[in-house]
Structure 1
Amino acid sequence: VLAELGPSACSGDSLKIAYSAPIDQISDRDSDADAHSEGKVLTAWAIHCVLDPTSATQLEHWTPTTDLLVLTGIPEEAFQKEIFLRAFDGICHDDPSRTLVVDHTLELEEELTRRWRERFPLPMGETEALAYDRTSVLFFGVTGPIATPGRNPDHQNRLRVNVGAVVSRHDRMLWPPFVARGSRHGMGTMRNLLVELQQAKIVPGLLIVDRGLVGKAIIEEVRETGWHLLGGISKSTKEIREILDTVKVPESPSSVVHATHGEPSTRRRPDGDSGRRSAR
């Protein structure tokens, strides 16, 4: 944060964090000329979430105890709960004149991600190595238009959506997540990911994914886009079983595999056969 503030922070100038500007630029909501910068307000909120996440319900009381008042140029009396909630209207709001919901969330996330990588580039000669996985979010009350029945680990018969998350291996930067219908198969969301990466104009590098997201068709599509793919493959496939039958595995604690459903654990002997051991 201090690196982003720059020397002007010491003189009491307005907040210089680079990520407050795109919020004001992207927001198209008509607001009062005297209204406080939504970018500064939401940036202050983000700083609060990082430094003191447990006080989420005490935001208006927490802010005056920091230097954010000086850095933003916003008076203490203005830092009330309503100012933070109103700031969200610039990002996502209902427009009665057009009878639609205006949502700049994805646009803002892509711009913030672009600026982050622009200010903190990869080492010379390196390309992105991104880890991708998805999880399901179940709906227990009010639902949404893309919430549909889908498979979940707990076998609950509820509506859900699939949320895909992408993290950079280089700096653990979380890239913009995306949401898909709950009925979408895991491999299907991989296509969403490829589209998102192309739209973000990210130079192809390495994709790291879970084994449930890998299939022959997906592998070919990933290669066509210029990315390399690193992912697991189910050990029950014919090819993997053939490989396991020919690999010489030394006897060691690390070669002991605990079986499921109460069966004894097994160990693959150097001769390729499996020997049983009592489960611990």
Structure 2
Amino acid sequence: MTLALGTGLVSLEVRAAPEGEAEAAPATEVSQAEKTRGENLSEQAIEAFGAKDYDRAVELFKQAYEADPQPNYLFNIGRVYEEAGDLENAVEYYGNFVKQPGVDLDSRGVALDRLKVLRAILEETAEPKPKDEEPKDEEPKDEVAPPPDPGPDPAVEEEKRKAKVLSGAGFALVGVGAAALIGGAVTGVLAQGDNNSASEAASIEDRRDLLSTSQTKALTADVLYGVGGALAVTGVVLVVVGMTKKSKAEGKVAVTPTFGPRGAGIDLRMRF
């Protein structure tokens, strides 16, 4: 008896080789006792397969193949694996079967059909291959760090501070000078009024008092004019100097003294 190539999904069949059909010959001569042992193991394997004891059926078919290396045992091992759902091992044993010498073309055709179906199933059910891993973050290249900010120049900051003080003092003096000028103007008007009143005085004493008061007020007005003018001029000068020092500290102005036949002056050049 020779194991046939069962193609059903439920049972394995055993039949005699048809007349004129050559059985798959083993690679080496095997004794009759080994052949008989292989057939007995194959029958036990068929029973285990019918009982759905697939692990035992595979083991018995493997023992049968070791005793009598008939290619049909390889096919039946693949068949058991297929029924058990182990398609990868089924493909392996079907593939080994079709490579064996002495296997007839029809049997090979059946096995090749099973291989085609099972490989298609495996391909469809295979887990998708992971996408190419994202490139790892490259180590940051050594970048030349920018030089640290040295901060403001102390000398420049000091010049700015002095310029601010001068400008503040200049504006204050301009204000005081302007007030003095206004006071001088008011006092001058009062002195002129007293002088006019003296010419109309009823008595000499009244005239003298008014003239004396007019002179005092006129003198006070002159002093206020002088002081106020000086303070205003000084304040303007301080403001200009302060602004000039600040601009120089910022590099926006250049001041150069000039001298000529008509007097001295200042050459002021500003950059924007």
Tell me the TM-score range normalised by the shorter chain: under 0.3
Q: Which has the higher helix share?
A: 2
Q: Which has the larger radius of gyration?
A: 2
The TM-score with structure 2 as length reference comes to: 0.21
Larger RCO: Structure 1 or Structure 2 (Cα < 8 Å, ≥ 6 residues apart)? 2
The TM-score with structure 1 as length reference comes to: 0.20
Q: Which has the higher strand share?
A: 1
